[in-house]
Amino acid sequence: MNTESPAVTAIADLQTHVGQAVTLRGWVYHLRSSGKVRFLVVRDGTGLAQGVLVKGNLPEEDFQQFDRLTLESSLILEGKVKAEPRAPGGYELEVSRLRPVNISQEFPISPKEHGVAFLLDRRHLWLRSPRQQAILRVRDEVCRACRDFFQERGFVLVDTPILTPTSCEGTTSLFETNYLDQGKAYLSQSGQLYLEAAAMALGRVYCFGPTFRAEKSKTRRHLTEFWMVEAEAAFFTLEDVMALAEDLVRHMVARVLLHQEPQLRLLERDLGPLEQVVAGPFPRLSYGEALERLKEQGKEIPWGEDLGGDEETVLSQMFQRPVLVHRYPRSAKAFYMEPDPADPRLALCVDLLAPEGYGEIVGGSQRMDDLETLLKSLAAHNLPREPLEWYLDLRRYGSVPHGGFGLGLERVVGWLCGLHHVRETIPFPRLIDRIYP
């Protein structure tokens, strides 16, 4: 009785099966009925395709199954592929069999407008929408571009711990947990210190993993759990750090433009600014020069103060490409940064600001390599020395100049996709007041 089904095909591959019978498996994206001709748009994760049901072209029983279908019902379709400019996706299936797998209950998310809170409460369902799929594909591309980039340059992936005994930066932003009989442990807010140890072993290393910050930051650029790529290399100067960060960012943008242009178009991303990023070198400004530029724009910042989001936005909008701002005052930066020999008030550090108002996506520096200088810095920052003895060891046993940077994955993806908020760039965002679903 059973006739054999044609080969299962992904919607993205339909173009190579025109004129052939195929089987599609997916979910109902849209339904329309016009009497004896019925249309359904199916999605399968690779794209959208339209199915056409004409009474008489398929078993009456299958034709009637159409009336049971609801949005997001899962189903298996068989039919002949036809190129059809009128159809969403450009290809159409003349349906010869229709078998529902599961009739969906009323799906809460429609193609109409929804509020942010409503969608975030249903993030597990929201992921099915074309925009969210496009963003996740861009994220995937950025991750792969990053791994390829470091591998090609001889960097070794070193996974740093997520449970840590101490903090790297302020203790106010730490997630705390109990660690068996050992007392408190904290979720990692940076792999940097461990990466420095690994750089003394392997020369060039990087890590890529989740990072946790319990900051009560409620902005479009903050998550409490985000992914960070960190690189560290022995014998690297600030110049080397800046060049590497610039190359990485350019490489990521180029890869996304090369492989994910359809996603960017779906997201209605203006490609012009991204093409600019790939086209040439990034401008560089010292902190002092940045203050002058800001003053010209009517934003006067007292020397010594860090640049806020507003200032970053103004600066980044002055250039068509990402801008590297280097040599901030040490007072505004972390304890481990090497002082500038030309002006010891300054740190050999750099922030990379994305254009179009997206702000900081990379922060890096040359690290202190001298034991005495580092000890003085710890004292100046009121940091306890004992839990960092292992870190100080790196300065006791063959210390060398070294440096590195961290790049925030979600901020990069948000920028590349042209999004207003990073919460859409990670599958299940963790925000200050939200840990569901």
- Among 49, 195, 223, 378, contact with RNA (rule: CB under 7 A): 223
Angle 298-303-304 (CA atoms, 0-180°, nearest 5)? 130
Residues 161-220 that bind RNA (CB under 7 A): 169-170, 173, 190, 213, 215-220
Looking at beta carbons only, is 91 or 155 nearer to RNA? Answer: 91
Give CA–CA dist 413/145, Å, rounded: 12
Does 226 engage in binding with RNA (CB under 7 A)? yes
Does 382 engage in binding with RNA (CB under 7 A)? no
Exposure letters 98-132 (e unless 16+ CB within 10 A, then b): bebeeebeeeeeeeeeeeeeebbebbeebebbeeb
Looking at beta carbons only, is 151 or 217 nearer to RNA? Answer: 217
CB of 409 to RNA, least distance (A): 7
Residues 96-115 that bind RNA (CB under 7 A): 106, 108, 110-115
Looking at beta carbons only, is 103 or 371 nearer to RNA? Answer: 103
Looking at beta carbons only, is 167 or 173 nearer to RNA? Answer: 173
CB of 288 to RNA, least distance (A): 18
Token pair belonging to 13: 């591959």
CB of 418 to RNA, least distance (A): 14
Looking at beta carbons only, is 9 or 190 nearer to RNA? Answer: 190
Residues 241-260 that bind RNA (CB under 7 A): none
| Helix%, strand%, coil% for the chain, nearest 5 | 35, 30, 35
Residues 322-361 that bind RNA (CB under 7 A): 332, 351, 359-361
Token pair belonging to 332: 């505004």
3-state SS, residue 326:
strand
Does 411 engage in binding with RNA (CB under 7 A)? yes
Residue labelled with tokens 């760039």: 425
Q: How many residues bind RNA (CB under 7 A)?
A: 73
Contact 24, 7 (CB under 8 A): no
Report which of 130, 138, 137 is spatially closest to residue 266, judged by C-alpha positions: 130
Token pair belonging to 56: 């008489």
- Among 64, 102, 118, 380, contact with RNA (rule: CB under 7 A): 118
Cα→Cα distances 77→1, 19, 62, 88, Å: 18, 16, 10, 17
CB under 7 A: which stretch of 130-138, 156-164, 275-283, 417-425 binds RNA? 417-425
